[in-house]
Amino acid sequence: MKKLFTFIALVVATLTANAQTWNFKVYSSADGFAESFAADKTALDAAVTAGTWTLVGDKEGRYQAAYKTVNEELKAGDTVLQITRGLYVTGASGKFRVDAANNQFGFNGKDLSLRIRGLKAGQKLQFVSRSASNSSLDRYFEATQNLEVVEGFNVPEEGNPEKTNTATVKAEGDVVITSMVGGLNVLSITVFDVDGTQMTKDQVIAQGESYVAPREMTGTIVRESKTWICPQDLEKDTEMSADNEGVTDFNGLFLRGKTGSHAIKIVDEAAEGVLAGEAISVVKVFGYSGNSNLAPAPDASADVAIKNATDMSIALNAGVAGKLYVLLRPSTLTEGRYVWIYKNGEKAFEKQATDWKTKDVDGTAKSDYDVVELENDATGATYFIGGSLPMRVAAVKFVVAGSGETTVVGPFVQRDEAEGQWYNLRGQAVTTPSKGIFVKNGKKYFFK
């Protein structure tokens, strides 16, 4: 009878140990490496020989990736590792460890991200972690995208016990977890469906593969009406994309540029316009630097445009049907300079600088700000705003379809106007208003 109880206990323990969606606790034992790790070990040993992976401290079973990863599954050569299959990671060379000898997945740096694709609203993620140090309490993971924290994802307790981090998925789409300091280990990851049942690795991966997101772009997928304007309290020439990877998340708007002459910066400049009925009046704008070599020619392929957009553009990833409004202008009227916007890899807007409306400033002709409008359907869209530089962007607005954001919120430019006369927003008298915003007797009217 005692043997029977012991056998049952072992079975229960085995089932529990293997129950997690990703479980790094089961890849070695006192008797050596588990059979489930055999294929990965063969591929990793070959990768060590090839130099794409290294052994940590020359210890068997402790492997470190010797290559940079960008939102991708870990591979040994051409083989996707089964131990981390379905987990998409981003980090520099030497930042991720498959430590089968110690039953853990290691993060060897700060700001390393782990992404799980296509989870559904209401599903739950349980993430068991442990710091690599007993003395430092600032090592922890943070839920950085599409997760509502239930517990954890903060500074661990003293003594460095295993830490259970739990969060609920906010909306259908990818979730992202980020390391706050290096020296962190993941012991297991469990995904629960909306009804509370535990999901297998294959179920989560299949769900992610069936999820059709807007064009792939690392970062937040915008699903609500939102307006972005250049921060008005920053100093001139402040770079908004100063990190080495060249992408700064401006609260859902992505400023894609590097540093110096390749940066998107804050520029002192007054700009006014109306975006979906919202009056915009600012004294600082986003300024693209003057390097025209980063932009593709007007007839360039979408692939070329997207590649160049990675170097210099403002990008937005919309996840629902809606309309994009951009208040912008080219910084020069030179022939051959232009502005474009790509939507899902296809050119959706293009305009030569010489075709832009102009105004005289101290007797000098200058391009005036204008509003560009683009729509997308319910499948969403990724937009890249760029062109032959330099250029200026004063505001970007995305309005979800059916949200009713069309009311003009009041005048933002005062002019002396004749009683009963219609004017456009440039102060020009018109006989009959057409589509757009027009002024009469000091009031604005919106015509569809």
* Long-range pairs, 249-254, Cβ under 8 A, ≥24: 249/219, 249/220, 252/219, 252/220, 252/222, 252/226, 252/228, 252/316, 253/228, 253/314, 253/315, 253/316, 253/396, 254/217, 254/219, 254/314, 254/315, 254/316, 254/317
The Cα–Cα gap between 322 and 406 comes to: 13
Helix (H, G, I), strand (E, B) or coil at 26: helix
The stretch 200-225 carries a mean pLDDT of 80
Report the pLDDT value the prediction gives residue 426, as an integer from 0 to 100.
Answer: 53
Question: Domains in the chain, please, with CATH?
Answer: 16-210 (2.60.120.260), 226-412 (2.60.120)
Cα separation of 125 and 144, whole Å? 13
User: In sequence order, what are the residues at sequence separation of 6 or more whose Cβ sits closer than 8 angstroms to the Cβ of residue 325?
Assistant: 275, 276, 371, 372, 373, 395, 396, 397, 398, 399
Distances (CA, A) of 338 to 129, 206, 225, 313: 50, 43, 28, 13
pTM confidence score: 0.56
pLDDT: is 379 or 253 the higher one? 253
Distance of CA 179 to the CA centre of its chain: 16
**Dihedral (CA of 9, 11, 12, 16) sign:** positive
Predicted pLDDT at 3? 45
Query: What are the tens digits of pLDDT across the range 313-349?
Result: 888 888 889 999 999 998 888 887 788 888 877 788 9
Residue 111 CA to chain centroid, in angstroms? 14
Token pair, residue 440, equals 């009469």
Structural tokens at position 413: 């430019």
Q: What is the per-residue pLDDT across 5-41, written as a single tens digit (0 to 9) for each?
A: 443 343 333 333 447 899 998 998 877 899 889 999 9
Please, which residues have CB within 8 angstroms of residue 80's CB and are 6 or more apart in sequence? 73, 74
